[in-house]
Amino acid sequence: MGTFQPAEEREMDRRKEEEREENGSKLPEDLEKGGRVGVLPEQAMERDIKNTNNQGDMHAAMLHRLNPTNPLRIILNGGVRVATPPPQPSSSGPSGHHRHQHHQSPVPRSISTPQQPAVINLNSKAYTDKVYLFLFVLHLILAVGLVGFLVFKGIHGLLYASESIKRKERMVLQYFLPQVEVASLLSISLAFAWQKAVRLWPKFMVHFILWCSFAMSLSAGILLVCFQMPATEGVGVCFLVFAIGNGLYACWVSQRIGFCSKVFIKSLEPVEKFPDLNQPTYWMLGAGFLWMSIWILAVIGALNFSFPPLTIIVLVLSLAWTAEVMRNVANITVSRVISLYYLRGMQSNTQFCLQRALTRNLGSASLGSLFVPTIEALRILARGLNLLEGEDEFMFSCAHCCLHVMNSIFRRGNSWAFVQIASYGRDFVRASQDTWKLFEMNDMVPIVDSDITSSICFLTGVCSGSICVIVISSWTFTVHRGFTATISLLSFLVGYLMTRIAMALPHACVSCYYVCYAENPEGQLFDGTIKDRQTLLKLNREVVTTTPRMPHQSKT
């Protein structure tokens, strides 16, 4: 009997089984409705966390947001924090290598790494334009050899030649050499006088040089024509034609004189801080005078040599190139001193800058001495063609093309390049291009293109040469008329070259003012001179015309 359960116990067991079946059937419905009956432990924990966040920690939930560009990055309070991915199993092969690179910690894109600016070397030890340095040194060796040989021929002719040659050379020594030596001394005196006057009274001297060069060249032309000899009349006509062009140019640039005077005044201010800045000019003028004296003896010896005219032409070209190199050496020396003062506030040693110009930058000075005068002369010619251009003139149909070509060449070879050659030790062509790009970036092309500083320095040399012609030609016409035309041309060349060497200082100061401003317009050493000029040009309150053209005629 004990093995059978009572009826009441069996009824209770049956009810419990039914209740279990009812709870099991209600579990899915309760889970869909979110009830608490029959909830699994993991789901209940997740729901409790969500309820807690919704009620008491809404701010913390807003702080955690995935970056849309990279899900591994979490943005917290505006910052970026990179989430560390779980380690991945290493695998060989291309796909494994690609997956390994993909799971590396990426660099945040919102954090930019600043690039360090390139360090510009102001003390470059490289030689610039080595090919032209070699050519100039070779030219000097050949010139010294030729001059020495011709001097020997002259002395030999005086001692051992025939009586006719001795008489000719004695006459040259008596009536030719003294005038040329006096022209050299006079030109050096005029060179120092011009430079000193420009430094003391720049505003007055700009007007004075423009009209004094016109008056002196006109007077020299009239004087040579009055000698009534075919040679002197031809030379005199050339001076008269130049004087007419000089006067027209002085009238044309009258609107630019005021701004040119301001630039002269401002650019010459740093000269007072360097008392020895003029020493390179002294050295170059002294070397030029010594070389000129020996050169004259070589010209005399050329009369006792084969093909005297061709030999004298070669000597003249050699003298012109050498004198231009001397001028540009002084230009580069002054440019380095002034540019380092503008750009770095440095007090440079003038002797050290001269040494650099005579060694490392001599190749660029030689290249610039060859091409800058030629390029500027051809550019002036192209502008002259544009001035004479007419609508129905076939011969001037290519004037615009010629001017465009010369402007393109001018960008690759101009006198502004000497500033960067002196400062950074760059080659001539690269310095020309970089400088012109600086002008274009700062809207300075109209201002620089209309600058008349080069013209003022050129006309100063013309004025000194014309004064030498007036003095020396009068003396020569009195003692020996046959040498008048030759000595007039030679004295003009000597006066022009010596004065251009002396005027390298103010020219370099003006060039440094423009170029250094273009490189650092916000420098403390610059005032509003250029900015005011740019404002006037933009407002069309002052018109700067670099290549004026004739008005087009209306067709009838």
Per-position DSSP letters for 262-292, written without gaps between them: HHHHHHTGGGGG-TTTTHHHHHHHHHHHHHH
Q: What is the pTM of this model?
A: 0.75
Mean pLDDT across the stretch 497-516? 94
Whole-number average pLDDT of the chain: 79
Q: What's the Cα-to-Cα distance from 226 to each of 122, 183, 220, 412, rounded to whole Å?
A: 56, 21, 10, 45
Helix, strand, or coil (residue 242): helix
Q: Is residue 66 part of a domain?
A: no
Give CA–CA dist 415/360, Å, rounded. 18
Per-residue pLDDT band for 21 (boundaries 50, 70, 90) equals low
Mean pLDDT across the stretch 324-334? 96
Q: Is the pLDDT of residue 260 over 60?
A: yes
Place of tokens 């290493």: 90
pLDDT in tens, 140-175: 999 999 999 999 888 888 887 778 778 878 888 888
> What is the number of domains present in the chain?
1
Residue 503: the pLDDT is: 94
Residue 395: the pLDDT is: 55
Q: What's the Cα-to-Cα distance from 64 to each of 2, 18, 113, 119, 260, rounded to whole Å?
A: 69, 49, 26, 43, 66
Per-residue pLDDT band for 108 (boundaries 50, 70, 90) equals very low
Per-residue pLDDT band for 306 (boundaries 50, 70, 90) equals confident
Place of tokens 């917290």: 76
Which of 10-19, 224-233, 310-319, 432-441 has the lowest average pLDDT? 10-19
- Of residues 224 and 54, more confidence is placed in 224
Residue 72: the pLDDT is: 38
Asked if residues 265 and 203 have their Cβ atoms less than 8 Å apart, the reply is yes
Cα 93-99-105 angle, rounded to 5 deg: 140
- Token pair, residue 476, equals 């020569």
Give CA–CA dist 281/277, Å, rounded. 8
CA 467, 470, 472, 475 torsion-angle sign: negative
Q: Is the pLDDT of residue 127 over 80?
A: yes
Per-residue pLDDT band for 10 (boundaries 50, 70, 90) equals low
pLDDT in tens, 434-492: 999 999 999 999 999 888 999 999 999 999 999 999 999 999 999 888 889 989 999 99
Q: Is residue 2 part of a domain?
A: no
Residue 113: the pLDDT is: 44
Per-residue pLDDT band for 541 (boundaries 50, 70, 90) equals low
- Of residues 287 and 163, more confidence is placed in 287
Q: What's the Cα-to-Cα distance from 485 to each of 168, 176, 224, 235, 288, rounded to whole Å?
A: 18, 12, 8, 7, 23
Q: Is residue 462 part of a domain?
A: yes
- Of residues 553 and 127, more confidence is placed in 127
Give CA–CA dist 264/118, Å, rounded. 33
Q: Is the pLDDT of residue 504 over 60?
A: yes
Nearest to 142 by CA among 370, 322, 326, 367: 322
Q: Is residue 231 part of a domain?
A: yes
- Token pair, residue 384, equals 């002259």
Q: Is the pLDDT of residue 553 over 50?
A: no
Residue 404: the pLDDT is: 81
Mean pLDDT across the stretch 182-208? 92
Mean pLDDT across the stretch 127-141? 95
- Of residues 245 and 538, more confidence is placed in 245
Percent of the chain with pLDDT over 70: 73
Asked if residues 25 and 37 have their Cβ atoms less than 8 Å apart, the reply is no
Q: Is residue 448 part of a domain?
A: yes
Please give the torsion angle defined by the CA atoms of residues 501, 505, 510 and 513, in that order, rounded to the nearest 10 degrees.
140
Q: Is residue 115 part of a domain?
A: no
Residue 346: the pLDDT is: 86
Q: Is residue 12 part of a domain?
A: no
- Its domain, for residue 206, covers 130-536
